[in-house]
Structure 1
């Protein structure tokens, strides 16, 4: 995968910075036919950056099972400054394909320390509710849908306790002292999800119990909204200083 990313940028003028695996492979719930969801960010070339016209801040490539998305650093850091949970997962990913960032570990830890748990809570709960709707209307009731929903609910609960949710599903389970009904359903179904194709439905007789348990858990989480937990100005300062350092290195 590292070679593919390097080869991709040989034909481009942007500078690749940081790329990881995202999605089901990162979370440890991949199926045999899961895509490789490569995510990260780049720096525009000096010519692009100082050009009078605005250049696209996004690179997207879909080639077979290779799904690649790269944000310009300004877009990426702008999202991090708002405590965007999606890109927050990218910078915490343990499957790293490419890293050309100086002293990144220290900056990464400072970003994590200053992230907003309220933003995490709303993001994960919203994802779960979207998947609940798909299952409730029977538009999409696959093991993948159920797991994405359960992962969202568990992550949202941890956010209410001001705990950073683990990305790997097994480690996420371990963050709970006791197995609740949702975790039991997840564990019982995990191996089936891994061995089946992404689009295969949950067996009809299992759907009502799974849906009822998930909906009840989501309703309880709705009553426990966390307060805003970070200092956004401090987070912005961390990102601004690091962005200045990188741009000075490439453009100076």
Structure 2
């Protein structure tokens, strides 16, 4: 699959006349709980030729490749990425620390990574993760029978919130790291580890009786973290000037512009 992804990256560069700055895995593979049949969720940041930006019209700043059963690829233009980076966009912050890297060029990812803590907003991140946990919980984990594998899509963002509460820092991308650090109740940890083992072994985790120890934990923590979100820190030094410098720098580096 890595070879296919590498070929797709070259195809994207040719078809769209862009240069890709980095491409990484996101989703369940990056988070550490893939199924045997999980697809590949590839996310990338790219830069157009300088003249593309010299227009009075706003242009589409996303590239999305057709999705198939195995591969989902999409990316953001550098300007869009830096604007979202300024807002402490959690998915983008996760891309920067993904352990599965498919492509890197020009040093852009390393410079963004060096600024990651500077743009990190506890308040924005907690709201993002809490909203994700609440939405998945409402949609999939109500009633006596639930979609078991969806527990991971509630637990991971919920534990990310707890990490921010505890450390006031970016949460790790690894689900196992979050569980190891933050889940101390033996019965809860056992239930989570059992589901993780089954998922990674390839079991079909569809409708089953709900796991009460997990549901109780989720409901309790969502209520508590909703209160924490109201007081989470949001004051940050404006990084716009530094990000503008980065934007201009990589237009010059990639396209020998200016």
Q: Could you state the TM-score of these two structures normalised by the residue count of structure 1? A: 0.87
Query: Secondary structure, in 3 states, of the residue corresponding to 1:16?
Result: strand
Equivalent residues of 2:49, 2:251 under 8 A apart: no
Q: Deviations over 1:163-189 (max 9, x none)?
A: 321111122223337347654432221
Equivalent residues of 1:39, 1:69 under 8 A apart: yes
Cα distance change of structure 1 residues 210 and 42 upon mapping to structure 2, 3 Å threshold: same
Tell me the C-alpha RMSD between the 2 structures: 2.5
Aligned to 2:83: 78
Query: Secondary structure, in 3 states, of the residue corresponding to 1:149?
Result: helix
Alignment of 1:57-76 (within 5 A): 57-64=61-68, 65-76=70-81
Work out the CA distance in 2 between the residues paired with 1:207 and 1:153: 16
Question: Are 1:186 and 2:192 matched, yes or no?
Answer: yes
Equivalent residues of 2:63, 2:75 under 8 A apart: yes
Structure 2's unaligned 5+ residue stretches are none
Equivalent residues of 2:162, 2:182 under 8 A apart: no
Work out the CA distance in 2 between the residues paired with 1:160 and 1:213: 16
Q: Could you state the TM-score of these two structures normalised by the residue count of structure 2? A: 0.86
Question: Are 1:127 and 2:132 matched, yes or no?
Answer: yes
Alignment of 1:15-34 (within 5 A): 15-34=19-38
Equivalent residues of 1:140, 1:201 under 8 A apart: no
Deviates more, 1:239-248 or 1:51-60: 51-60
Work out the CA distance in 2 between the residues paired with 1:237 and 1:184: 48
1:2 Cα offset (Å): 2.4
Aligned to 1:149: 154
Deviates more, 1:237-246 or 1:50-59: 50-59
Cα distance change of structure 1 residues 208 and 232 upon mapping to structure 2, 3 Å threshold: same
Structure 1's unaligned 5+ residue stretches are none
Aligned to 2:245: 241
Q: Deviations over 1:40-64 (max 9, x none)?
A: 2111123422244433111001242
Question: Are 1:5 and 2:17 matched, yes or no?
Answer: no
Aligned to 1:56: 60
Q: Deviations over 1:16-54 (max 9, x none)?
A: 111110000000101122111001211112342224443
Aligned to 2:164: 159
1:80 Cα offset (Å): 0.8
1:6 Cα offset (Å): 1.9
Cα distance change of structure 1 residues 61 and 189 upon mapping to structure 2, 3 Å threshold: same
Task: Report how many residues are paired.
Answer: 249
Equivalent residues of 2:141, 2:151 under 8 A apart: no
Equivalent residues of 1:182, 1:214 under 8 A apart: no
Deviates more, 1:69-78 or 1:53-62: 53-62
Work out the CA distance in 2 between the residues paired with 1:140 and 1:119: 33
Work out the CA distance in 2 between the residues paired with 1:45 and 1:221: 44
